[in-house]
Chain A
Amino acid sequence: DAGVTQSPTHLIKTRGQQVTLRCSPKSGHDTVSWYQQALGQGPQFIFQYYEEEERQRGNFPDRFSGHQFPNYSSELNVNALLLGDSALYLCASSLSRDGNTEAFFGQGTRLTVV
């Protein structure tokens, strides 16, 4: 049973560019959440997707957008990249029916903006 998989694992982008990160949830999970973890910090909640809709959003600008597909996989898009967007981006999946009591994380995508 595959866990949460994220791609790519590492990415280098130039300031001003756009980036798309991908996440496949654990089999059977229907909820996907995205987090940004800056170096030495705890993860910061970006948003959560359930039934292809954004259900909750953290304190992130509109440059951060996402999508969830019918197979529950998800994408995180960041436009007009800033140097401060450099971070580890984590995806977590859970099962809404179980109250999301256990969330599984992927290995993350390390984004470097130069």
Chain B
Amino acid sequence: AQKITQTQPGMFVQEKEAVTLDCTYDTSDPSYGLFWYKQPSSGEMIFLIYQGSYDQQNATEGRYSLNFQKARKSANLVISASQLGDSAMYFCAMREGPGGYQKVTFGTGTKLQVIP
């Protein structure tokens, strides 16, 4: 079974609109963390947001928010007020295990294109 599933290979959004990128995960470990990264065409992986499995509130970082639904095992990224510079690949990732003993699994990514 896939640990991280991103079902949207590509998405389009109008500039200034909000967009939701889907991510579901699978783990039996009670301690885990969920990440979203942005990868522009330059290749660098840019950290956007993190949600811990024990965090009570959904994480937010500026225009990014993570819609964490633990029972459904989903961790969707919401980008508000899209900008042209948001066009990139977006990866959802999961860290399993506590402390220094961790393994991170990435999804296959969603290519977001912002239309003027």
Contact = CB atoms under 8 A, between A and B. Distances in A.
A binds B: yes
Interface of A: 31, 33, 35, 41-45, 48, 50-51, 55-56, 58, 88, 90, 92, 96, 99-108, 110
A105 B47 contact: yes
A33 B104 contact: yes
Nearest to B104: A45
A33 B13 CA distance: 33
B101 A43 contact: no
A105 B50 contact: no
Contacts of B98: 99
A47 to B, nearest CB: 9
Most chain A CB within 10 A, of B4, B33, B50, B100, is at B100
Most chain B CB within 10 A, of A100, A105, A110, is at A100
Interface of B: 4, 33, 35, 37, 42-47, 50, 52, 91, 93, 95, 97-109
Contacts of B100: 31, 48, 50-51, 55, 96, 100
Contacts of B99: 96, 99
A79 B98 CA distance: 31
